[in-house]
């Protein structure tokens, strides 16, 4: 649907084209099944453009805000996968044979600064990281689509996962909370906890790695010239 200037009408509440005096939600593509009572007319409303819906009312006090029915789920299996997927590469770090890598790097024909890029386990971790990133984006899209099927009208876009899964889960939880009457924040708290725990574990692993390097250097035989 477009206005008189050929511009696409933005999502919002508009007079129900089926009549009845209420409002129906326009999602930017088509009319949905979501209905709301008619809002009180503004004191200084602009004249209507023939053939175009009236402007969407301000979503403030006294204006109907879309709500999903009580008991509607606020999370999906996809969002929980997005929350916990980053744990996999972190856990795999502790299976890396650092001592073996250090010994191999000394005997490697490559420079010490580039030897790591030829280590099979390091390459495995890098590939696994990209797989987890791709799956997070895909699962966010599936979660976004699942929320639409559950009746959520305004949803945080899944493409934010390209920036960070943390950003998507937090934004998504805030949007869900608005339509679910204050429910739906569990994924946000979970993803924050996972990121904080991951940071702490990564710091511990880094300290352990430095200890391994120090012990390896100390155990190397001294070469006299």
Q: pLDDT digits over 24-35, tens only?
A: 877 777 788 777
Name beta bridge partners: 14: 24
221's torsion region: left (phi>0), alpha (psi -120 to 50) or beta?
Answer: beta
Backbone phi, psi, residue 182, to 5°? 95, -5
Average pLDDT, the chain: 79
Whole-angstrom distance, CA of residue 73 vs CA of residue 95: 38
Tokens coding 200: 């702490």
Q: What pLDDT sits at residue 20?
A: 73
Name the residue with higher pLDDT: 192 or 35: 192
Q: How far apart are CA 132 and CA 206, in angstroms?
A: 21
pLDDT in tens, 79-134: 999 999 999 888 887 777 777 777 767 766 555 555 566 667 778 888 998 999 99
Q: Encode pLDDT of 134-149 as tens digits.
A: 999 999 999 999 999 9
Question: Which residues, listed in sequence order, are joined to residue 23 by a DSSP beta bridge?
Answer: 15, 36
Which residues, in sequence order, are CB contacts of 80 under 8 Å at separation 6+? 187, 190
Domain boundaries, the chain: 1-66, 77-219
Quote the longest CA-to-CA distance of the chain. Answer: 96
**Residue carrying the six token digits 């050929």:** 6
Tens of pLDDT, residue by residue over 199-222, are 999 899 889 888 888 887 888 776
Burial class (CB in 10 A: 0-12, 13-18, 19+), 180: buried
Q: What is the mean pLDDT of residues 4-16?
A: 71
């Amino acid at each position: 649907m477009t206005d008189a200037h050929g511009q696409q009408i933005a999502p919002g509440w508009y007079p129900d084209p089926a009549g009845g005096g209420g409002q129906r939600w326009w999602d930017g593509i088509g009319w949905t099944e979501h209905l709301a009572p008619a809002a009180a007319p503004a004191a200084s409303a602009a004249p209507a453009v023939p053939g175009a819906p009236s402007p969407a009312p301000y979503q403030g006090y006294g204006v109907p805000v879309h709500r999903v029915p009580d008991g509607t789920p606020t999370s999906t299996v996809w969002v929980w996968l997005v929350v916990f997927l980053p744990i996999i590469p972190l856990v795999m770090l502790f299976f890396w044979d650092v001592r073996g890598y250090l010994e191999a790097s000394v005997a490697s024909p490559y420079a010490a600064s580039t030897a790591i890029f030829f280590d099979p386990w390091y390459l495995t971790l890098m590939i696994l990281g990209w797989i987890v990133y791709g799956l997070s984006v895909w699962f966010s899209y599936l979660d976004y689509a699942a929320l639409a099927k559950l009746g959520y009208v305004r949803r945080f876009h899944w493409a934010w996962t390209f920036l960070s899964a943390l950003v998507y889960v937090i934004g998504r939880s805030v949007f869900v909370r608005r339509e679910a009457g204050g429910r739906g924040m569990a994924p946000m708290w979970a993803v924050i906890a996972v990121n904080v725990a991951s940071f702490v574990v990564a710091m511990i692993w880094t300290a352990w790695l430095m200890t391994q390097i120090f012990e390896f250097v100390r155990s190397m035989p001294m070469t006299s010239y």
